[in-house]
Structure 1
Amino acid sequence: MTIVTKVQQQPEVSKAELEGLHPRELRKIVREGRWTGGTEGLARGYAQANLIILPKEVALDFLIFCQRNPKPCPIVEITDPGSPMITQVANADLRTDLPRYSVYKEGKLVDQPSDITSYWRDDLVGFLIGCSYSFEEALLNAGIPLRHQEENKIVSVYTTNVPCVPAGRFAGPMVVSMRPVKRDQLVRAVQVTSRFPATHGAPVHIGDPSLIGVDLEKTDFDTGVFELAEDDVPVFWGCGGTPQAVALASKIDFMITHKVGHLFVTDKLSEAIAAI
């Protein structure tokens, strides 16, 4: 697998140097190739989004799929066919403004570049899908700790045995993210995240992972594994990895997504898209 990197005009930066930057400043550094790492914990308070880019011929089916499965696939913005530009949640170029991408051809991962300009085609449509990173600041403000941030890992991601509602060529399983939550904070975690339906909202499952076909020791997308303390309960939210899993299961010929954990950071405050 070939890894493509952006041409760097200036030295790479550390994650510590990125803390506190506005999303526009962060995206500029990403565009310059000075940061190709994950976006967890960056631009705190601002919504982040998953990316999936598909050929126009399957875009309508995918749009309907998302509408039928709003928990794992809440749509934030859609580009015009052939245009990589978004204008609603930020003024940005989807070809360059994410730290790293995943390119799939005929169902196989072929590249994880930091710039997809060379892969762009006139028939492509970009979808931004809400991400649960967006409600994490609210969880922290409510006094609910986040183990993956404490351990500097990507949040755990699992493919479940829960089928999504199919649409056209798209059918497959729901993907979820998991965060351990203390038993006495469960109600508060549900209350806090239910205010963010545009970024997955309330959990889809709480407790026994086997009921949704999950083995906590076997994560997907190279994400972290966490040991549960005695008073921890696994809590699962819909995940923007669902479109990747479904598109692969549906054998879509060509697809580009973000690399898991390397999301698009919008200019929208998470609270601005929260339910009242």
Structure 2
Amino acid sequence: MTVPAALVLITAKDARSAARHNLHTTSTSGLAPGHLQANLIILPSRYAADFRILCARNPVPCPLIAESTAVGRYDSVKSWIRGLQGNDILADGCDIRTDSPRYMVYKDSRLEKASCSDITAEWTEDHVAFLIGCSYSFEAELTAAGLPPRHAVLHRNVAMYRTKVPLCPAGVFQGGTYVVSMRPYRKQDINLVRNITRKYGSTHGEPICWGWEALEDLGIRDIDDPEWGDAPLTIDGRRLGELRDDDAEEVPVFWGCGVTPQEAVMRAGLTGTVMAHAPGHMLVLDAIDKDIMEV
């Protein structure tokens, strides 16, 4: 049974506890409003240095927030955010192996387990966890401004798409491309959406492109067929792609997405066990949006 988010999952600790006890298993969009959320990628230690470089070279889709304090540590992190300590990001008592609602497990770059409830059996003393910023983190401010993301209003998972936009390579991570998330907005609201999200550079920042013409630029064939998440809908429940033939004011708006590292891992042909969050099922952090907002 899912615990009602509005009643219980107000703090980051609440959200992590519900995930740990398998009480909240769906998308974390809207949970613990004002708290940061993070994508996870967990690698054998031999790939850690190359992954840090990948994040540094690709800060929009891979904004690095924190990593394990040491190889094998799943219960504490060190911060990559200026002004924040590891305990500010994840308080004592966290367990990265259990505190996201759902996980993915890859072995030798092939998906072995999807949407599992924990990764305690797969974790080893040689693993390093990386926390990557998530665009769910700016959704509370969008909602407060009267611009709630459509997927949150309809209680769906955000739509995510594979693109043809190349990543800057780093070490073993070659040939990767951006993954983007999409939220539809009216053309007249896009400047406000950009201004709000621009401040969140540690959680992907402002959109990278928008409009129907952006599909060709990104290499997205069908807006109604995302690789991850739920197909996007209009507010009255129609397929979003139906608007493309209308003179509608609403257009797709695209952000960098933290599923990008999972795609980079698949392209890199890594050996050993790699773990990650299931798309849309984030680790909710103790840090709050004001901790990372850029003015």
Instruction: Output the TM-score relative to the length of structure 1.
Output: 0.92
RMSD: 1.5
Tell me what 1:263 maps to: 282
Instruction: For 1:53, give the aligned amino acid.
Output: I
CA distance in 1: counterparts of 2:8 and 2:292, whole angstroms: 22
Gapped regions of structure 2 (runs ≥ 5): 78-85, 234-238
CA distance in 2: counterparts of 1:53 and 1:102, whole angstroms: 10
CA distance in 2: counterparts of 1:133 and 1:222, whole angstroms: 13
Instruction: For 1:180, give the aligned amino acid.
Output: P
Matched pairs, number: 265
Gapped regions of structure 1 (runs ≥ 5): 1-11
Secondary structure, counterpart of 1:118 in structure 2: coil
Secondary structure, counterpart of 1:117 in structure 2: coil
- Per the TM alignment, residue 18 of structure 1 is displaced from its structure 2 partner at its CA by 5.0
CA contact (8 A) 1:18 1:26 kept: no
Cα deviation code 1:164-215 (max 9, x no counterpart): 0000011211000011011100111111100000000011112221111012
Secondary structure, counterpart of 2:130 in structure 1: strand
2:224 matched to 1:220? no
Secondary structure, counterpart of 1:85 in structure 2: coil
CA distance in 2: counterparts of 1:139 and 1:16, whole angstroms: 19
- Name which of 107, 113, 116 aligns with 1:113: 116
- Per the TM alignment, residue 16 of structure 1 is displaced from its structure 2 partner at its CA by 4.2
2:225 matched to 1:235? no
Secondary structure, counterpart of 2:128 in structure 1: strand
Instruction: For 2:203, give the aligned amino acid.
Output: T
Alignment of 1:1-276 (within 5 A): 12-16=1-5, 20-79=9-68, 80-87=70-77, 88=86, 89-91=89-91, 92-111=94-113, 112-171=115-174, 172-207=176-211, 208=213, 209-215=215-221, 216-226=223-233, 227-228=239-240, 229=243, 230-253=248-271, 254-276=273-295
Secondary structure, counterpart of 2:216 in structure 1: helix
Runs of 4+ in 1 over 4 A off after TM superposition: 16-20
Instruction: Output the TM-score relative to the length of structure 2.
Output: 0.86
Secondary structure, counterpart of 1:152 in structure 2: coil
CA contact (8 A) 2:5 2:31 kept: no
Residue 258 and residue 211 in structure 1: after superposition, are their counterparts in 2 closer, same or farther (change >3 A)?
A: same
CA distance in 2: counterparts of 1:21 and 1:251, whole angstroms: 39
CA distance in 1: counterparts of 2:99 and 2:185, whole angstroms: 32
Tell me what 1:6 maps to: none
